[in-house]
Amino acid sequence: MLEPGQLVMLLNAKDKRYFVSAQEGQVMHTNEGILHLDEVRAAGWGQQVLTHKGYPFTVMRPTLYDLIKSVKRRTQIIYPKEIGYIAMKLGIGPGCRIVEAGCGSGGLTTALAWLVGDTGKVYTYERREEFYTLCRQNLERIGLAHRVEQFHHDIAEGFHPHAADALFLDVREPCDYIHHIPGAVVPGAPIGFLLPTTNQVQDLLKAMEGGPFRQIEVLEIFLRHYKPVPERLRPDDRMVAHTGFLVFARTYAQLEEPETPDYEGPADEDAGDGELPEE
C-alpha cells in the first residue's frame, strides 16, 4: 500500500496523465468518473483501479520526466532533452549545491532538486514575484520544496556567497551578470547558460573574454520521436526543433600578477657614474 499523501500518476485508457496526492479518504473527479484515492493507495504501483463508471486507471510512480512535463507553467520551460545534458555537464548529483537564476515556472528547478537529494541544495533566484510564487507552488506540489532555497532577488545586485559547486543562468542577458559569478561558486565550478538567439550567444562570449572561464562550449540539442507502429515505423510529423543554445564553461582562480618594483638605481652613488672607484 502507498503512503498517505504520496504523489501518484494515473493513466486512463488513452494514456492521459493525472497527477494527484493520494490523501486518505479523498476522491478525484474525472470525465470518466470518480476515483477513490484509498483504492489507489491500496492497489499500488502498476495496478488498475476503476472509477464508479467502470473506467480503468493505472497507478504509476511518476518519473522525473513526468514531473517536469507536469509543471504548471506560465513561461517556457527548459525541455528534458536539454536538462539531461545540463545535469551531466554541471556534475549534478546527491549532495551538490547549485545556483540557478531565472527559475520561471520551475521546470529545471524541479530536476535539480530531484538530483541533488536531501543532502544537496538548490539556490534559485527570480526577480518576478509571480514566477517566484509559481515555482514554489510547483515544488510544494511534488514534495521537493525542502531541497530548494528561493530568493526573490534581482541578480543585477549580485548573488549571495554560496560557494556553490555549479551555476546555471536562464536569463535574458546573462552577459550583464558574468562579473558576479565568481563570487557565487567555488573555483573550478562548471557553469551553464541557456540562450534563444545567436546574437545573445555572441554577446555572452564577448563578455567572457579575459575572465576566469575555460573550456567554453556552445551547442544545441535536437530530439526526434518516431511513431511506434511496427508496420510503418517513421518519424513523427512534427518535432520540437530549436529550443535554445547551451553555453558551458569552467571557472578558475586567476593568479595575481606580482608587482614589479620601481628601479631606483644602485645604493652607492659613486658606483653609478660610470667610473671605477679609486684604490
Q: Which H, E and C letters describe the chain, residue by residue?
A: CCCCCEEEEEECCCCCEEEEEECCCCEEEECCEEEEHHHHHHHCCCCEEECCCCCEEEEECCCHHHHHHCCCCCCCCCCHHHHHHHHHHHCCCCCCEEEEECCCCCHHHHHHHHHHCCCCEEEEEECCHHHHHHHHHHHHHCCCHHHEEEEECCHHHCCCCCCECEEEECCCCHHHHHHHHHHCECCCCEEEEEECCHHHHHHHHHHHCCCCEEEEEEECCCCCCECCCHHHCCECCCCCCCCCEEEEEEECCCCCCCCCCCCCCCCCHHHHCCCCCCC
Q: Which pLDDT belongs to residue 76?
A: 81
107-116 vs 129-141: helix axis angle to the nearest 10?
50
Q: Which pLDDT belongs to residue 260?
A: 62
In which residue ranges of the chain is pLDDT below 70?
256-279
Write the CB contacts of 31 (distance below 8 Å, at least 6 apart in sequence).
none
Q: Which pLDDT belongs to residue 279?
A: 47
Q: Which pLDDT belongs to residue 261?
A: 61
With H, G, I as helix, E, B as strand and everything else as coil, classify residue 272.
Answer: helix
Q: Which pLDDT belongs to residue 262?
A: 62
Q: Which pLDDT belongs to residue 73?
A: 84
| Phi/psi at 152 (5° precision) | -85, 90
Q: What is the amino acid identity at position 78?
A: I
Question: Does this model's pTM top 0.85?
Answer: no
Q: Which pLDDT belongs to residue 266?
A: 57
Domains, the chain, ordered by start: 6-62 (3.10.330.20), 65-251 (3.40.50.150)
Q: What is the amino acid identity at position 279?
A: E
